[in-house]
Structure 1
Amino acid sequence: MIRPTLALLLLCGPAAAAGTISGPATVIDGDTIEVQGTRIHLYGIDAPETAQSCETAKGLEYRCGREAAHALRARIGSAPVTCEKHGPVAGGRLVGLCQVHGEDLSAWMAAQGLALASRQVTTAYVAQEGHAWATRRGIWAGTFEKPADWRHDRRRVEASAGADE
């Protein structure tokens, strides 16, 4: 009888058994991709949600969440992405340290000002975020609500609307 661990190794190869997944990626949002049918949250960052808006320095509203997803999609292009499982599953998604052409996608997103460093998870991307802030790149060029706060406010509004029915 083959043990389940050995069966996984035989079916998926050593990379999958070791916690690595590689292949073409589909961008779900600014900090979530899908590789081989598996949703993966990019380790250590929090990007604006797809429906989230921010303001430019001139006070013009723009869809910063959509812009973050578009930039990530452009950065990946058609290249394969390799993700190493990093930490527990968060919200039903695998958390992964993902790279394209050897470049850490979380570091790139933070450096572009398209995502915040998740300090409660790691301090690995604080320097990239700080550089984006200092050079007013991405969301740092104007004003924005932290993605976690935006999600919290959205849930509170939705719960309040549901209670009124």
Structure 2
Amino acid sequence: MSHADVSGVVRVIDADTIDVGGTRVRLHAIDAPEQDQTCLTEHGLPFACGIWASAQVDAAFGGHIATCARIDTDKYGRMVAQCHVGDLDIGQEAVAQGWAFAYRRYGMDYDLDEKSAYVADRGLHGFRVQSPAQFRVTRAKGRIPPDPACRIKGNISKNGHIYHMPGQEFYERTGINETRGERWFCSEAEAHAAGWRAARR
């Protein structure tokens, strides 16, 4: 092993980020749903796919000894690496089982693993999933509730203080900018009490 490599016990943070010993490692060339990301089942029901994906990786690799070869350092200062537990490449296994996606922007290593998982409807491929990268962008624009239990959008516009419920016409495209006094509500009663009125459609 070179001095840049690490080895140690795996602690899973999410399906593409692990701690190995005391080192935070972002797995190379894979991208998994965020912990607070939900997907839809084939029947349109919400499913906590971020938590599910993390649990799969944890069940497979948590507590095992991994060896990681550094490839890069990301913008958060985390080591980007390929990690193995025994003969298994953790990233490759996560993509092959449908717990994460190939992140082709950073490498084509797992392209074929993802294609075979997709054809087999394995793991996440059996759900309607927004790409994790796209999810991060929309969440950053205030369109994804920070708390899944508080999904009502309290918007301020030229028409006044109006709240939008999930499923309403303008819900998806409405972004919440808390610096302008806009906010999230957990119930319609809470929105009414704060002086917001319901959107007409």
TM-score category, normalised to shorter length: 0.7 to 0.9
Shift in Å, 1:64: 0.6
Given candidates 175, 178, 187, the residue that maps to 1:162 is 178
Q: Which residue of structure 2 lines up, in the alignment, with residue 3 of structure 1? A: none
Distance in 1 between residues matched to 2:74 and 2:129, nearest whole Å: 27
**Structure 2 residue matching 1:124: 3-state secondary structure:** coil
Aligned-pair identity in percent equals 34
- Code of the residue aligned with 1:85 in structure 2: it is R
The CA distance in 2 between the partners of 1:75 and 1:148, in whole Å, is 24
- 1:91 offset after TM fit, Å? 2.2
Matched residue SS, 2:104: coil
- 1:163 positional shift: 2.9
More strand by share: 2
Is 1:57–2:73 an aligned residue pair? no
Aligned length: 150
Q: Deviations over 1:51-97 (max 9, x none)?
A: 00011222221111111110111111432011110123342211010
The one-letter amino acid paired with 1:163 is T
Higher RCO (C-alpha 8 Å, min separation 6) = 1
TM-aligned CA deviation for residue 116 of structure 1: 1.1
Secondary structure of the corresponding residue to residue 51 of structure 1: coil
Range moving further from structure 2, 152-161 or 90-99: 152-161
Alignment of 1:136-151 (within 5 A): 136-151=121-136
SS of aligned partner of 1:157? coil
Matched residue, 1:79? 64
Q: TM-score, normalised by structure 1?
A: 0.85
Give the corresponding residue for 1:117.
Answer: 102
User: Which deviates further from its counterpart, 154-163 or 33-42?
Assistant: 154-163
For the 8 Å contact 1:58–1:142, the answer to whether it is kept is no
Alignment RMSD (CA, Å): 1.6
1:108 corresponds to 2:93 = yes
> Which structure's CA Rg is the greater one?
2
Tell me how far apart the structure 2 counterparts of residues 24 and 31 of structure 1 sit (CA, whole Å). 16
Q: Deviations over 1:111-153 (max 9, x none)?
A: 1111111111111111011011100011110201000000110
Question: CA separation in 1, counterparts of 2:9 and 2:96?
Answer: 23
CA distance in 1, matches of 2:140, 2:63: 35
What is the TM-score when the length of structure 2 is the normalising length? 0.70
